[in-house]
Structures are given as C-alpha cells and as structure tokens.
A and B are shown apart, each in its own frame.
Chain A
Amino acid sequence: MKGTVWQRLDFVARNLAPFLVSLCLVVASVIPLRLPHASFIVPALALMAVYYWGLHRNDLLPAPAIFFIGILQDILSGGSIGVNALIFLVAYGICVSQRRFFYGKAFLVVWWGFMVVAAAALIIEWAINVAITETIISPGPAYYKYLATIALYPVVAWLFARIQRTLPVVE
C-alpha cells in the first residue's frame, strides 16, 4: 500500500465522512429547537443525505449504511422501528437507479429530483403510519415537513458539496 499510516487513516476518515455526516443529521433532527411550533415542522434531514450521497457517491454510502441510518432515526424519533429504514432504502434505490440521468445536470434539476423523491418518501411514510395505527392521520404535519425539507435542501446540499470536494476520487 502507498502512503504512511497517517495518510491511510486520513483516506479512511474521508471515505467515512458521508456516513458520519448522515449520522450527525439523524441526531440533529431530534435535538429540541425550542422554537414555538417548531416540533411540527422538523425537516427530514437524513433523507437529504440519503438522496445526495445516493446520487453522487453511493459507493461511500452503501445500502447497509442506509439501513442502519434509518433504524437509528426510528429509534431516536420514537416511531415504529423499520419505517425510516424502509423509506430511506426506497429513496436510495430510486437515486442509485437514476443517477445517470442526474449526472452533470444543473442544481435546479437535482433539486426538482429531490422534490419528487421527498414527496414519494413522505407519502409512503404517511401510508405506513396510517396502516400501523389503523387511523386516518391528518396529512397536514407531513405537508409542512415536506415544505421545510425541500426548502432546506439547497443549504444542506451546499454543505455536502463542500464535503464531497475533499473526498478521494475513485476511477
């Protein structure tokens, strides 16, 4: 292997960055913001990570990592375990299969793609929750969550893009 131990360690740490950032976003999404009514409109932060890395560097965020992130989100948010794992995997599947289409496209196109994926994810989440609780849940909160999520995506994507620039490239 080339390079010193430190260089190799640095290489591994950089490759782990997408996964660690995703974990941080899961934790960040449950931190109480203490703003009035804020708890009703918390954006789906981890979904942004799943979408971004699924499109741009799915080699660094493989399916088992997505599953793990989803389970952690379920545990911390107190919801039924498996819901987010399933949704993230579905979103990830869409991203990986469509990444050729989005390759090299303008940010607006990628953002539009996120709007579609996030809508699908939240509709599935709502449907699963309706099925689990066997009651019709008002879709209002999910709608606000959707708006907050797509509105915040450019900021988070900008952050991801900065991280991506520091990542080692594989041919």
Chain B
Amino acid sequence: MAKRPESFQRVAAPLRAMAQRFAFLFLLVAAGGVLLAGKADPKIFDRTRMVVTDTLAPVLDALSRPIATWAAIVDEVQYLTDLREQNTTLRAENTRLVQWHTVARNLAAENERLRGLLRFVPDQSSQFISARVIADSGGTFVRSMLVNAGQRDGVRKGLPVVIGEGLIGRVVDIGDRASRILLIDDLNSRIPVVVGPDRERAVLVGDNSRRPKLMYLAANAQVRQGARIMTSGQGGVFPPGIPVGVVAFIDANGVRAESFVTNSDLEYVRIIDYGLTGALDDDRRDGIAKEF
C-alpha cells in the first residue's frame, strides 16, 4: 500500500509533462489559427473585441483619470515657468489677430452677400460628440485609441474625429459605451485630401511613421512646404474642408505631411456627425451587395 503513491507518481509525472507539452502546442496552433482567421475575415472578431472593450471601458476610464490629473499638474508647472515669455508672444499674436479679425469680418459679410446673390445651398449642419481618450494602442504597429463614447451616445462607424486644430482619425469599431478610433497615421488609413491654395488632389496615406505620406499627387502639381492640407470630401466618408495638417517636407521619396495627431496631447476628442453615410457604412454596403 505504501508503494502505491510512488508508482502512481512514476506514471503520472511523465503523463502530466506530455499533457502540458501537448496543451502548449495546441495553444500555439490555436494562436496561429486565430491570426489566419482574422486575416481572412477581419470582421470575424469584431463582436468579441467590442464586448471585451465595452466591459473593460469603465476600468480604463477610471485608470486614465489619475494620469490625466498628473499630466495637468505637469502642464501647470510648465505653464507657470513660461509665463513671461508666453505673455510677450501672446501680445504680439493678439495684435496680429485683431487685424485678421477685421479682415475675417469683412470677408464673412462679403461671403454672405455673394451667397445671397447665388442662392447658395449651405452645408448640412453637424453635431458633435465629445469624448475622453481612455486607451492608447501603444503605437508600434497600430495607431488607434479608445474613447469613452459609443453607440448609446450616437457614435456611428466611419464618423470623423477631430481635435481643436483638425482631423485626427475616424471611428472604426463601436461598442455600446466605447469606440475605437483609427488615427490618420495608421497603416490602414487612406484619406482623400486637397493640398494648398491650388487644391491639388492627393491621398494621405498613413505608414505608422510620424509623418504620413501624400500619394497620387498629379505629376505637375505645385506643392510647397507648409501648404495646408484639407479633406476633399471625395468618397463621402469625410466632409470637405476639415484641416488635416501641413506639408512637412518634400524630397526624392515623395511628400510628407505633418499631422495634428503626432504633437498633440490627446485627452478629449470630438466626433462629428455630418449626417453622411459614406463608403465605410458596412450595413449600407452589405445592403447594396444583397441587391445585386
């Protein structure tokens, strides 16, 4: 009787080791399988992804708050140290802006008059949803973030996301209380834009670097460094005229843009609903596919 546990041990130990090895190989294959399945149909895990994200959203929300407070304290200290210098700059800027203000008012009045003459149909009015950034993807291979607004707040797939200066991305996944935003410097981001005062058409292509590429510019396009880049509205995803960035530099490899994402400290973002149902509306696309 006394020997029994020992002999049991002798048989069980290698068996257990084998089972563990088998489980390890099985999981390795499973991970590879999941990866391939996701590659074949990227929508397959959308639901799982959003259920998990939705569940964890309150946790992420709570955890991101102390960090935000800490960042605010750092900002405050920085602000106090630069106070004098900032004051001088702001005074100079203010004088310049007062002049611009007069110019803008004159232009607005003139624009109003001309619109009246032309019976111009104004753009549809838009609605804003403000949201807080609760998670950041880490950015090595994916440039995206989670915000604490979802379906229940009226967020839809494909809506453009802006900060004060301009466009930073669009909504790609929506959960009930959180949604994922694909930033414009992600590899999968393609945005039809116009560049500079001549409104040269191009596509802003993210490549995971800090400066997205401007591609498909016409061969004779005149693009200068510092030229403003705005959405063109082609494709119906983004409304025309949202600022996207400026041309950073032009070299033999092409034109690179400086976007508003990189140097910004993103805490709050605005999701704009222009009432457009663009190329990214999956339900509509599926509906069309069914009709044919």
Contacts and interface: CB of A to CB of B under 8 A. Distances in A.
B259 interface: no
Contact of B31 (A62, A77, A89, A142): A89
Main secondary structure of the interface of A (DSSP, over half): helix
Interface size bracket, A side: 35 or more
Contact of B30 (A36, A67, A145): A67
Contacts, number: 149
A83 B37 CA distance: 12
B133 interface: yes
A118 interface: no
Given A31-B135, A42-B138, A133 B180 contact: no
Contacts of A141: 139-141, 208-209
A17 interface: no
Interface string B53-73: 100100110011001100100
B93 to A, nearest CB: 22
B56 A76 contact: yes
A33 B146 CA distance: 13
Contact of B139 (A42, A75, A80): A42
Interface string A72-106: 10011111111101100110010000000000000
Contacts of B79: none
B63 A27 contact: yes
Contacts of A93: 24, 28
Interface in B203-217: 207-210
B59 to A, nearest CB: 7
A2 interface: no
B31 A70 contact: yes
Interface in A47-88: 62-64, 66-67, 70-72, 75-83, 85-86
A90 to B, nearest CB: 8
A67 B208 contact: no
Interface size bracket, B side: 35 or more
Contact of B35 (A30, A33, A128, A137): A128
Interface string B136-156: 111111111110000000000
Contacts of B35: 80-83, 86, 128, 132
Contacts of A78: 137, 142, 144, 146, 173, 180
Contacts of A67: 27, 30-31
B31 to A, nearest CB: 4
Contacts of A39: 136-139, 143
Contacts of A126: 141
B34 interface: yes
B49 A75 contact: yes
A30 B136 contact: yes
Given A129-B141, A140-B209, A81 B45 contact: yes
A36 B24 CA distance: 40
B104 interface: no
Contacts of A30: 60, 135-138, 146
A3 interface: no
A126 B208 CA distance: 12
A29 interface: yes
Contacts of A29: 138
Given A83-B35, A86-B35, A33 B45 contact: no
B38 A89 contact: no
Contact of B138 (A77, A85, A128): A77
* Residue in A28, A30, A66, A145 whose Cβ sees the most chain B Cβ within 10 Å: A30
A81 B145 CA distance: 16
A66 B34 CA distance: 15
B136 A81 contact: no
B265 A36 contact: yes
A75 B175 CA distance: 13
Interface in A140-165: 140-142, 145
A116 to B, nearest CB: 19
B20 A62 contact: yes
30 contacts: A29-B138, A31-B64, A31-B135, A32-B64, A32-B134, A33-B71, A34-B68, A39-B138, A63-B24, A64-B23, A72-B52, A76-B52, A76-B53, A76-B56, A77-B138, A77-B142, A79-B142, A80-B38, A81-B45, A82-B32, A82-B35, A82-B36, A86-B28, A125-B141, A132-B39, A137-B187, A138-B209, A141-B141, A141-B208, A142-B141
